[in-house]
Structure 1
Amino acid sequence: MEILSEIADNLLHLREKKPLIHHITNYVTVNDCANMTLAVGASPVMADDIGEVEEMVAFAAALVLNMGTLNLRTVDSMLAAGRKARKAGIPVIFDPVGVGATKLRTETAAAILREVRPSVIRGNMSEIKLLAGLKTDIKGVDSAAAEEDGEIIAAGLSRELDCVVAITGKRDIIAYRNRLCYIDNGHPSLAQVTGTGCMATSLIGCYCGVTDDWFCGAAAGILTMGLAGEVAQRSLRAGEGIGTFRVRLFDAVSTMLPEFILKEGKIHGVQIGN
């Protein structure tokens, strides 16, 4: 499939170019996101002070904004860095963690959508439904929403915001304009490790840092995490569990080859509309 070939090529380009990926992310997963960025072949910077974010993002190939552990200081930094990135044509990848759980998260997400206009939004079904203005159950920062009609919701929000929308779950969905794809790689153990969603968002940022096709960049990041989850799970022996699985995720990403993506990637792309 053409998109698999593009993803495989982008992995090579990423490792050749080693793009700088600026993160303003959460303190629960910041170290894992930095290490996942390194594992795939990019270079992370985690600067979040308002005094340097605009200067720092100017050097970056992509900006990742993650609402996992919000505070008023980082909200200002996200908005400042995001506006600077968009003005400079640098892709912004937004992870609206826990939107709808609190007033601060909901208002911050709205401000980022309005003032930054992200290039890619990656979230679980509950988060994407809430951004789309739909009622849904929430459970802290975890998804409690049913996954039916995900492609309709993703495509509708993508058209409304004119950005790539990715929903991660049992079956991942990526939509942009008249393009939509499903990804069926992954393993349930990914949901048992804190931060795999955040790490997937970082991987999207890495790929978007080397391509202008942000739809493909989003698919590449999510596919890479899904494949890594499968490899990590298969590598476990008797007596090894989630801790070993987490370490093996990084190993799987760092050793992933383009030919493995072409062989094992389970991605189905469709055209929607004209």
Structure 2
Amino acid sequence: MNLTILGCYAATPRTFTNSTAQILDIKNRLFLIDCGEGTQVQLRKNKIKFSKINHIFISHLHGDHFFGLIGLISTFMLLGRNTDLHVHGPKGIKEIIKLQLKLSNSWPTFNLHFNELEAKESVVVYEDEKVIVRTIPLKHRIYTNGFLFEEKVEARKLNSQVVASYNIDKCYFQNIKNGKDITLDDGRVISNGELSLDPPVPMRYAFCSDTVYNEAIIPLIKDVDILYHESTFLDSEEALASKTMHSTAKQAATIALKAGVKQLILGHYSTRYDKIEIFKEEALTVFPNILLAEDGRNFSF
């Protein structure tokens, strides 16, 4: 699993910081999570192939999380894209984008699908044979979702040396991968545990931005490998965080601690602060495994 931070600051983009957007590479699927202004420029800077992006997940309809979407769609058209593009986001995203395309007479050359969300409980928004994506309902000033990306359990791996030692025919290999024991011609039963190896443990990534401190999400993100949680403010501005329905670094760390996550990534920093290291310092007083999102930073897990 590989995560590239394209932008991780709140509100307005600046010459040296960008609003929220991420690329998650999971099981050879390239997912774009949020699409703040300037996302396509950041995609180019980070040498990410536009053509590999087929699904875009938008958390909510505040501009710093989706103002880059119409520009990206327009660039897809100019590049001659012909593969389907799926946009998963709050109800209203289809109307916003289609109106811009209509008034500019710029209808796409590819199929543009909208999966509009309005459920207040967690729902599956994407699934294939290797990955499943669910919403994480958040509490913000408008309807907002985070997203939980989960690898599915792979088939078991053949222990080729053991299988060869029993001279087992290839026609039984799929049964072994499916977890079945094998009965030899002489009647001996060979356990699947001897014939196969455990697959890699599936990984889970939770994206949570924007939200006030909300313990209701804890069951949904319990024990995830990586949690990205907004930390717009420091503890000294807790009252402002509550008023604007955002979180502090310490609150994000508290959620991580109570959910038992393995790694916390902080982001969505207010531009009022000169250094982001202070967010990590504050969060470390609560939770030990802290990483800082930074524009252009890549995480491999």
Q: Same fold (TM over 0.5)?
A: no
More helix by share: 1
Q: TM-score range by the shorter chain?
A: 0.3 to 0.5
TM-score by length of 1: 0.34
Q: Which has the higher contact order (CA 8 A, sep 6+)?
A: 1
Q: Which one has a bigger Cα radius of gyration?
A: 2
TM-score by length of 2: 0.32
